Amino acid sequence: MLTINFNPFPNLETERLSLRRVVKSDVNEIFALRSDEEIMKYIPRPLAKTTDDALEHINTIDATIDKNEGINWAITLKNSFKLIGIIGHYRIQPQNHRAEVGYILHPEYHGKGIIPEALKKVLEYGFNEMKLHSIEAVIDPNNTASEKVLLKSGFTKEAHFIENQFYEGRFLDTVIYSFLNK
């Protein structure tokens, strides 16, 4: 079984991006992302209604990192501290050497290759540092932009589950993509 340890917190860098720990001063940017219906359209989680909800989300991120159960990075441009998105490993299964990757990005930065660039670094970290064997992404089948990112990043479609998730009074499909460490 894997031993996962995110202490000290691993800051990551790419050509254009810095991936750093989410901090309490990111609360307004987190609120902007998680309170926007369009941004959250494919993420079956309650919308943030107040900055307190966003702060609670930051506290959850911190607790998950502190317990070595998951890790999120704030995505920032190298020349700025401003959070423009979040990316991370969720639902880590040490016994299966597997984790789920997820991301969210402010629409102003869509179509600029930010997520593929951050994802490549986060996959490297998952395989090289966390010693994962496989990383999955679970998306809404209507989220074609995310599907394109995953396919472009080397993920393979693994499964399409029909109405397997009940959220806000309706059943949703989920599609699982995976990337194996070869």
Residue-range domains of the chain with CATH? 12-133 (3.40.630.30)
Contacts of 132 (CB under 8 A, 6+ apart): 2, 97, 98, 99, 126, 181
Q: Residues 49-65, buried b or exposed e (16+ Cβ, 10 A)?
A: eeeebbbebbeebeebb
pTM equals 0.95
State residue 182's pLDDT score. Answer: 83
State residue 148's pLDDT score. Answer: 96
The residue written with tokens 């995110």 in the block is: 6
* Residue among 170, 91, 93, 81 nearest 133 (CA): 93
Q: CB of 176 within 8 A of CB of 136?
A: yes
Q: How far apart are CA 116 and CA 19, in angstroms?
A: 13
Q: Phi, psi at residue 108, to the nearest 5°?
A: -55, -25
What is the chain's pLDDT, residue by residue, as a tens digit (182 residues)? 899 999 999 999 999 999 999 999 999 999 999 999 999 999 999 999 999 999 999 999 999 999 999 999 999 999 999 999 999 999 999 999 999 999 999 999 999 999 999 999 999 999 999 999 999 999 999 999 999 999 999 999 999 999 999 999 999 999 999 999 98
